[in-house]
Structure 1
Amino acid sequence: MKNTVNVLGIEFINKNFNEVIEILKNNIQSNKKSFVVTANPEIAMFAYEHPDYNAIVQLADMVVPDGIGIVMASKILNTPIQERVAGFDLTVRLLELGNEHKWRIYLLGGKEETNKKAVANIASRYPQLQIVGSHHGYFDWKEGIVTEEIQAAKPDIVFVALGYPRQEEWIVENLPRFSKGLFMGVGGSIDVLAGEVKRAPQFFRRLNLEWFYRLLKQPTRWRRMLALPQFLVQIFKIKLSDKTN
């Protein structure tokens, strides 16, 4: 079985959830610096249409299939990915492991109040975790103050919640300045950690309809949801092209 599967030009890791966690855990415990992208169809489509962002995603040490649409696409292309690896589930499991191993965590992003709420909830839920710093997402990149703060804190994990493409752009721009740490874009997960947004109930997740639940709760997301049919159109074009070649 291939370790990665190419979907729309992105090499997605082809491992199950526990295998992905094991890789990330080993990286953290060996002080290996790593960059993880959690990509759903929306992100994959954006990368397909924006070469600069695509180049950034290509630099990731791991791209996980965060979206049932990615798994569906891999099956259409006859290169099936084992399973969806949800970015939020990944985040929660890393926090649990961080609590067990007393890892050092830095949380970057979100509105100031959202960031504070997320930090407070994480500290309450995972008391053995060391939250060595946090900062909201509205800062001047050029000043470098946040980067210096993270350098001094020496975290094992930096969760970057700036939304794509900014979170991946920030990671790639600043990664050379750090000696260790797992850097992962977590986007809207910070809103869930802060308790400002509820995750879809288990019923919706089990049916792979988490996206539909989010749309019901946030109807303004419909424009973003248009990326999914556009993504599938491109996948079928690739499928047809492969048949004719």
Structure 2
Amino acid sequence: MKKIDILGIPFDNLTKKQFVTEIMNNSDANKKTFIVTANPEIVMYAKENTSYSCLLHEADYITADGIGVIKASHMLNTPIIERVAGFDLMISLLEEANKKNKRVYFLGAKKEVVKLATENVATNYPNIIICGFHDGYFGANDSTIMESVQASNPDFIFVALGFPRQEEWIHTYLKTASKGILMGVGGSFDVLSGKVKRAPKIFQNLHLEWLYRLLKQPTRFVRMLVLPKFLLEVKKVIKEKKVK
């Protein structure tokens, strides 16, 4: 499977449909699977944090969640064929899990958010077995959460703890788990619960979801500053390649 290197992070060059097919095959085979949905913010964080970068290299799949990653891949002449947003991939996996009566666990976000999210899943995907859920307010060394999740025997675990915590938790969980598809989904439970509205289709189609979120939450401006820094780093790589 072809990997596309963006500032040291190996992205999978697959369409959403291909991701879903492979992940569901892994689930049917009870193969442990670690999925990262990475945007420029995650790439830049990994660039500055060696341990996190090493952890990402152990993931089975890394999707390009962010138009900035797609733009960077084209600038580097190694184009990634499709942006695969974490929320969209999660929804597609829920749809497939519903067809196969899979067991799903939801971990993260505020108590009322994760509760609402699971209620909506139960309504929209009635064949899914929701084997448990828990909010994200627990200590990093709280082994009881991990034990409780494993005891529920989930096929899928969606982890909404934000990076790097969600990837670190997944990495630790998979060391002792016998099976499971685990995916970090950031703030997706907020949308799944209905607490936050997804950007209108016109913003999605124009790859301007970031702008919609910024207009709705101006406090995100500081976080958005990572994008120009990310593109500057990509330009540095291009310049170094030309010099060589």
- TM-based fold match above 0.5: yes
Offset of 1:192 from its aligned partner?
Answer: 0.3
Taking the aligned partners of 2:190 and 2:121, their CA distance within structure 1 comes to 12
SS of the residue corresponding to residue 126 of structure 2 reads coil
Counterpart residue number, 2:145:
146
Counterpart residue number, 2:66:
67
Taking the aligned partners of 1:145 and 1:126, their CA distance within structure 2 comes to 28
Taking the aligned partners of 2:4 and 2:139, their CA distance within structure 1 comes to 37
Taking the aligned partners of 2:141 and 2:4, their CA distance within structure 1 comes to 36
TM-score (norm 1): 0.98
One-letter amino acid of the structure 1 residue matched with residue 26 of structure 2: N
Taking the aligned partners of 1:99 and 1:78, their CA distance within structure 2 comes to 39
Q: How does 1:30-109 map to 2 (within 5 A)?
A: 30-109=29-108
Counterpart residue number, 1:172:
171
Taking the aligned partners of 2:46 and 2:77, their CA distance within structure 1 comes to 22
One-letter amino acid of the structure 2 residue matched with residue 31 of structure 1: N
Offset of 1:3 from its aligned partner?
Answer: 1.3
One-letter amino acid of the structure 2 residue matched with residue 128 of structure 1: N
Offset from partner CA, 1:190-231 (integer Å, 9 cap, x none): 100011111001000000001110101111101110110010
Counterpart residue number, 1:206:
205
Taking the aligned partners of 1:178 and 1:66, their CA distance within structure 2 comes to 27
Taking the aligned partners of 2:219 and 2:140, their CA distance within structure 1 comes to 29
Offset of 1:16 from its aligned partner?
Answer: 1.0
Taking the aligned partners of 1:32 and 1:134, their CA distance within structure 2 comes to 22
SS of the residue corresponding to residue 183 of structure 1 reads strand
Offset of 1:56 from its aligned partner?
Answer: 1.1
SS of the residue corresponding to residue 59 of structure 2 reads coil
SS of the residue corresponding to residue 215 of structure 2 reads helix
Counterpart residue number, 2:224:
225
Offset of 1:149 from its aligned partner?
Answer: 1.0
Q: How does 1:2-13 map to 2 (within 5 A)?
A: 3-13=2-12
SS of the residue corresponding to residue 237 of structure 1 reads helix
Q: Any gaps of 5 or more consecutive residues in structure 2?
A: none
Taking the aligned partners of 2:20 and 2:172, their CA distance within structure 1 comes to 25
Taking the aligned partners of 1:143 and 1:126, their CA distance within structure 2 comes to 31
Offset from partner CA, 1:158-217 (integer Å, 9 cap, x none): 000000010001111221110001010001001000111110010000000011101011
SS of the residue corresponding to residue 141 of structure 2 reads helix
Taking the aligned partners of 1:88 and 1:230, their CA distance within structure 2 comes to 25
SS of the residue corresponding to residue 142 of structure 1 reads coil
* Identical positions, percent: 51
TM-score (norm 2): 0.98
1:14 aligns with 2:13: yes
Offset from partner CA, 1:43-79 (integer Å, 9 cap, x none): 1111111112111111101101001111110000011
Q: Any gaps of 5 or more consecutive residues in structure 1?
A: none
Offset of 1:141 from its aligned partner?
Answer: 3.4
